[in-house]
Amino acid sequence: MLALALAVGAYYVWGRSDKVGAAAQAHPPAPAVTVSHPLVQRITEHDEYTGQFSAVEYVELRARVSGYLTEIHFQDGQLVKKGDLLFVIDPRPFEADLMQAEANLERDKAQVVRADLDLHRYADLSKKDFAPQQQFEQARATAEGAAATVKADEAAIAQAKLNVEFTHIMAPVSGRIGTHEVSLGNLIIGGSTGTTTLLTTIVSLDPIWFVFDMSESDYLSYERAGLLKSAREAFVPVEVRLVDETEWTHSGVMNFVDNQINRGAGTVRARAEFPNPRFFMTPGQFGRIRVPGSEPYDAILIPDSAIVTDQSHKIVLTVTGDNTVVPRVIRPGPTYQGLRIVRNGLAATDTIIIDGLMRARPGAKVTPQPGKIGLETSTD
């Protein structure tokens, strides 16, 4: 009897366990996923371009007069200020020309005095009919010619003084000077022709320009948004970073957009200006500029890990109030501080799966666990 009771009990226990296991297999627990509402942040979209720094003022220093180079007053590569003496060309021939011009002026002034005396004398004689009118007019012409000669002498003196001044070549702008292209003792060819001798170059450093090219499509987008009008009239704030930098540490303004599109490249040139008090940025350096591509607006942001691809569509998995997974087609935009901007297809009140996508199936139930979407601390 005891054996029969044990057998019946065992059958009951094992049979009930099998039924419970079968029920558990028929209704497995809903998988756990991490969910969150999209992050809504007021942002300004930016576009990035590669460009080069350029000097606001670039001067090729050439002499205005010819002569032998006698002095150099700078070290190659040093900083110079406007008005600093840089080169001296032997001034002695030009000083001799100045002395000659001054002597000619004194001689011709004496001729003017004599001609004026003759003119007054013949004027009186002509009034009394003691001298023919022809002699009076000849005296007047001689006096006027002498006065004109004096004016020519004064102009020659002014030119001679300029030539003496041009033998001392000053820095026309402040900035960093290049290497001297001509050594002492060489003959310098000056003047206004194309064969003049290049002495050195000077580039200004503060402020400095950053020149870059934008595509025609970007140009049209900015034009429709009114950003180019701001750049041409009121300046648009921009940021730049150097090739070894990760953050946008240099702030400036975009102050110029060209008046035509390059027909060959389909681009338009733009320019920004940046302060450079430490002269850290140098003309010719490459950099990366960030330009605002929109007005400030409230953007919907989600992580890229929450987006799945279905053929040609981008999809996020949302969770309804009864914990059912519902796919939603979205149109993503650019990234902003590590998150993806969603153009349309998603509302700020939607709940999306941000972790555990592999465990979720459209139309199936899930066990949502709260998560949070946050911006990256870095701004690169």
Residue 349 CB contacts under 8 Å (≥ 6 apart), including other chains: 37
CATH number of residue 143's parent domain = 1.10.287.470
Q: Are residues 181 and 84 in the same domain?
A: yes
Which residue matches tokens 């050195």?
200
Domain coverage including residue 346: 32-43+297-370
* Per-residue pLDDT tens over the stretch 141-193: 776 777 787 788 789 899 999 999 999 999 999 999 999 999 999 999 988 76
Q: Are residues 304 and 358 in the same domain?
A: yes
Tell me if 313 sits within 8 A of 329, measured CB to CB.
Answer: yes
The pLDDT of residue 207 is above 90? yes
Given this model, what pLDDT does residue 30 score?
A: 85
Q: Are residues 74 and 141 in the same domain?
A: no
Which residue matches tokens 């029969």?
4
Distance CA(237)–CA(252), nearest Å, equals: 6
Structural domain includes residue 226: yes
Q: Are residues 260 and 275 in the same domain?
A: yes
* Per-residue pLDDT tens over the stretch 29-77: 888 999 999 999 888 778 889 999 999 999 999 999 999 999 999 999 9
Last residue of a domain, one of 260, 292, 324: 292
Distance CA(224)–CA(202), nearest Å, equals: 40
Q: Are residues 191 and 321 in the same domain?
A: no
Q: How, if at all, do strands 267-274 and 208-215 pair?
A: antiparallel
Which residue matches tokens 């003959």?
187
Report how many domains make up the chain: 4
